[in-house]
């Protein structure tokens, strides 16, 4: 791991209990330049070839999500309680991450969740905490594989029938999502748990318009209600 300290951080106002995965559509040199330009940061960055960089020490509050515009389980200051990992991905998470990157991210996630006792339910993507603004880490982030490796959690579709609840907003909200914009919350949920529903888009479109106009239509043709129930069931069972 290489240290490239960035000065964009301050003191945390809460203990660490979340891990947030991001991606940027640039290589490490460009990503660092952009972080300097906008005076933002993350704790770690994963390069195109899987090299791990530490930009901010864990104990500090890195600036990787926008306070007031981020939300998870009633908390808006996500920076104070999270570790942020930025991955270099030219397709902005539309095309598969490289083997080396997956290997490095997994190794880093395992070390961080263990060190800071971060629960599986609190490992999220940027799109989970900013559903109507952010597309990253994209539909190609292998959440299912990560869950098998002990990072985050996945569902068993057979569990759907054990759930009586039918209110999608209520289930999404209990999982952690901001449901003020229900379509956006459901779209973020699909990026995470039903990636086949998400079309491949170009980077510009994803940044300017993270939710396509036909999102509701695309989700209607999917089995999102069953998957949501199954995830909701598992969410309440994960230790
Ligand atoms: Zn991000």
Q: How confident is the model at residue 68 (pLDDT cuts 50, 70, 90)?
A: confident
Task: Give the distance (Å) from ligand 1 centre to CA of residue 184.
Answer: 16
Cα 169 to ligand 1 centroid, rounded to whole Å: 24
Q: Which residues have C-beta under 5 Å from ligand 1, the single-atom ion?
A: 22, 126, 136
| pTM as predicted | 0.97
The DSSP result for 136-203, as a single string, is TT-TTS-HHHHHHTTSS----GGGGGG-----HHHHHHHHT---SSHHHHHHHHHHHH-GGGSPP--H
**What pLDDT digit, counting tens, does each position of 167-194 carry?**
999 999 999 999 999 999 999 999 999 9
Whole-angstrom Cα distance, residue 187 to residue 130?
11
> Sign of dihedral through CA atoms 157, 162, 167, 171?
negative
Ligand 1 centre distance from Cα of residue 136 (Å):
5
174 annotated active-site: no
Ligand 1 centroid to Cα of residue 20, in Å, is: 8
State the chain's mean pLDDT as an integer.
96
Query: Which of the pair, 13 or 67, is modelled with greater confidence?
Result: 13
Quote the ligand 1 centre to 160 CA distance (angstroms).
31
What is residue 25's predicted lDDT score, i.e. its pLDDT? 96
Cβ neighbours of residue 211 under 8 Å, at least 6 residues apart?
131, 132, 183, 184, 187
Q: What is the mean pLDDT of residues 30-56?
A: 97
Please say whether the dihedral angle defined by the alpha carbons of residues 128, 134, 138 and 142, taken in this order, is positive or negative.
negative
C-alpha 165 – ligand 1 centre gap (Å): 32
Distance 127 CA to ligand 1 centre (A): 7
Is domain 2-235 in CATH 3.30.230.10, yes or no?
Answer: no
* Both structure tokens of 77: 């200051």
Preceding peptide of 216 cis, ω within 30°: no
Could you give phi then psi for residue 162, rounded to 5 degrees? -85, -5
Q: Domain ranges in the chain?
A: 2-235
pLDDT in tens, 221-239: 899 999 999 999 999 998 8
Q: Which of 28, 76, 86, 217 is catalytic?
A: 86
> Rounded mean pLDDT of 102-116?
98
Burial class of residue 222, CB neighbours in 10 A (0-12, 13-18, 19+): middle
- For residue 130, the CA-to-ligand 1 centroid distance in Å is 9
């Amino acid at each position: 791991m290489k240290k490239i300290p960035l000065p964009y951080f301050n003191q945390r106002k809460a203990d660490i209990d979340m891990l947030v995965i991001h991606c940027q559509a640039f290589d490490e040199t460009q990503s660092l330049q952009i972080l300097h330009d906008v005076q933002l940061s993350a704790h770690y960055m994963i390069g195109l070839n899987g090299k791990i960089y530490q930009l901010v020490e864990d104990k500090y509050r890195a600036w990787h999500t926008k306070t007031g515009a981020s939300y998870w389980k009633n908390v808006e200051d996500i920076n104070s309680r999270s570790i942020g990992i930025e991955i270099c991905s030219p397709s902005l998470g539309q095309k598969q991450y490289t083997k080396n990157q997956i290997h490095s991210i997994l190794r880093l996630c395992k070390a961080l969740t263990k060190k800071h006792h971060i629960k599986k339910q609190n490992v999220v993507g940027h799109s989970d905490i900013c559903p109507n603004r952010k597309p990253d880490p994209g539909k190609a982030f292998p959440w299912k594989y990560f869950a098998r490796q002990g990072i985050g959690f996945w569902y068993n579709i057979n569990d759907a029938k054990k759930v009586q609840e039918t209110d999608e907003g209520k289930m999404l909200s209990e999982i952690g999502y901001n449901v003020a914009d229900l379509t956006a919350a459901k779209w973020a949920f699909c990026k995470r748990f039903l990636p086949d529903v998400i079309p491949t888009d170009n980077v510009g479109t994803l940044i300017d318009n993270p939710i396509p106009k036909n999102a509701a239509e695309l989700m209607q043709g999917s089995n999102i209600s069953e998957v949501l129930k199954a995830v909701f069931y598992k969410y309440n069972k994960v230790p």
